């Protein structure tokens, strides 16, 4: 199995998952059942996380379907129209960013639900509106993806969409201040996310026992802000030079570790057990295991990110 297979496995998750999430959100809103709303938010957050590897594996799929001998070389397969792939990529980039915003507001709703046992109406309304717009963008992306290998559903009279993804990538690489600015924001986001996550993990591991867990938990939105900065700036790095990442096994490990780390974030957000910790109390073995694994995973993400230019011979 390679990245192309992963793309084929995941490419329907954003479309189907978002649609199911919208349905559950409407059901929870209409029935006034907060637990159904909570399930919908967890689902939308999960879809947002899965959308990241779905997007980044698209370039590997492009190389396979085009039978490209080198990065950015023309397609060797005459049955494949490169413009259709670029149109699919161009639609996928804003759809992916929109899905990440849906995930961010879904996490915020879960965080607020954990604190007050209800999701604010304004948060639900924003998530619903964003989800509907995002679903339309993702459905369009999926339709353009189907055009690549299915001429029977292709509208021959329709002009291909502009290659937005490549235009953004060229802007990132060709404009002197964009890449270093993204590097700076990426480092700030890294410091926020890993700093806040380390505080939460250390509290569960037994340090700072005089501080109740819910007091540390109040800082989590800053950590998620850092995660969001890293996601957006990381995507700009990727679209700028995708071949540096899809051909680098260290990047694959980094993405896998980030996805597992996201499960830890969900655990800290929605599960009851950590919230029972008052000042002076010790966490359960399960909570300590999750916290310890989060520390190991964060160190792994840091190591892989730092080693990207030095391992894998892709840079």
- Regarding whether 172 and 136 lie in a shared domain, the answer is no
Structural contact between residues 120 and 176, judged by C-beta atoms closer than 8 angstroms: no
Q: Does the pLDDT value for residue 150 go beyond 70?
A: no
b vs e for 268-296, b when ≥16 Cβ sit within 10 Å of the residue's Cβ?
bbbeeebeebeeeeebeeebeebbebbbe
Domain boundary among 112, 130, 161: 161
Q: What domain range is 265 assigned to?
A: 163-315
Q: Taking residues 31-59, report their average pLDDT.
A: 88
Which residues does 110 contact at the CB level (< 8 Å), separation at least 6?
Answer: 38, 41, 42, 45, 269, 270
- For the stretch 217-251, pLDDT in tens is 778 888 888 888 998 898 888 888 887 887 788 88
- Name the band, by pLDDT with cuts 50, 70 and 90, for residue 72: low
Predicted local confidence at residue 84, as pLDDT: 76
- Regarding whether 34 and 175 lie in a shared domain, the answer is no
- For the stretch 112-124, pLDDT in tens is 887 777 777 888 8
Predicted local confidence at residue 134, as pLDDT: 95
pTM of the model: 0.83
- Regarding whether 88 and 123 lie in a shared domain, the answer is yes
- Regarding whether 233 and 306 lie in a shared domain, the answer is yes
Give the count of domains, the chain.
Answer: 2
Predicted local confidence at residue 277, as pLDDT: 62
Domain boundary among 97, 131, 161: 161
Predicted local confidence at residue 211, as pLDDT: 73
Sign of the C-alpha dihedral, residues 152, 144, 72, 311?
A: negative
């Amino acid at each position: 199995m390679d990245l192309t297979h992963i793309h084929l496995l995941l490419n329907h998750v954003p479309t189907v998952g978002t649609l199911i999430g919208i349905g559950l959100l409407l059901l929870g809103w209409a029935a006034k059942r907060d637990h159904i709303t909570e399930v919908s938010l967890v689902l939308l957050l999960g879809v947002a996380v899965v959308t990241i590897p779905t997007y980044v594996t698209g370039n590997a799929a492009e190389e396979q379907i085009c039978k490209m001998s080198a990065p950015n070389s023309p397609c060797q397969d005459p049955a494949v129209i490169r413009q259709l792939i670029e149109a699919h990529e161009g639609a996928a980039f804003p759809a992916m960013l929109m899905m990440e915003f849906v995930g961010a507001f879904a996490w915020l709703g879960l965080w607020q639900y954990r604190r007050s046992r209800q999701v604010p109406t304004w948060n639900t309304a924003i998530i619903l509106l964003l989800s509907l717009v995002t679903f339309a963008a993702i459905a369009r992306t999926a339709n353009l993806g189907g055009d690549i290998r299915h001429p029977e559903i292709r509208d021959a009279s329709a002009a291909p969409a502009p290659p937005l993804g490549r235009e953004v990538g060229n802007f990132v690489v060709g404009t002197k201040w964009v890449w270093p600015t993204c590097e700076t924001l990426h480092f700030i986001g890294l410091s926020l996310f890993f700093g806040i996550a380390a505080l939460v993990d250390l509290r569960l591991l037994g340090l700072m026992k005089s501080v109740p867990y819910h007091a540390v938990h109040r800082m989590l939105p800053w950590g998620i802000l850092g995660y969001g900065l890293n996601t957006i700036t990381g995507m700009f790095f990727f679209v700028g030079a995708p071949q540096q990442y899809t051909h680098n096994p260290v990047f694959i490990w980094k993405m896998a570790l980030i996805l597992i780390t996201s499960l830890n974030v969900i655990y800290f957000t929605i599960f009851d057990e950590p919230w029972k910790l008052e000042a002076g109390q010790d966490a359960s073995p399960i909570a300590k295991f999750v916290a310890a694994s989060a520390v190991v995973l964060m160190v792994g993400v840091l190591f892989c990110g730092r080693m990207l230019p030095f391992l894998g011979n892709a840079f």
